[in-house]
Amino acid sequence: MEDEREKWISETIDTTRDMSRAVAPIGLFDKIMVDIAGSRVMTIPKWQRNLGAAAAILLLVLNVGIGMKYASGDSKDVAQVENEGDAFLSDYELYDL
């Protein structure tokens, strides 16, 4: 089995021996370098970055505030279920007529 694999690899490599190497057109490298040097990079305007940062800070402050209010036990403004058993269906007869 190993000999067949070695033979197949040798035959495959032998088929590439008579091939000629590819030759790049003259000036191709210079064209590529000009394209790379001349490419424009899009940047996000400063006002959009500031707006995004302000939105992220606002969400962070609101989340921390809500978390602290919830953790402090001051739950008069937090929605709650008075009886946890009422939150779930006691019987699954949804269409009881």
- How do the pLDDT tens digits run along the chain, 97 residues long? 678 898 898 888 888 888 888 888 999 999 988 888 877 778 889 999 999 999 999 999 999 998 888 787 765 655 665 665 555 555 566 665 5
Pure H helices in 1-97: 2-15, 28-38, 46-71
Residue with tokens 């190497």: 21
Distance in angstroms (rounded) separating the CA atoms of residues 12 and 19: 12
Give pTM, 2 decimals. 0.39
Here the tokens at position 19 are 């091939």
pLDDT at 58: 97
pLDDT at 73: 72
- Residue 64 CB-half CA count within 13 A: 6
pLDDT at 19: 83
pLDDT at 95: 60
Residue type, 20: S
Integer distance in angstroms from the first to the last C-alpha of the chain? 75
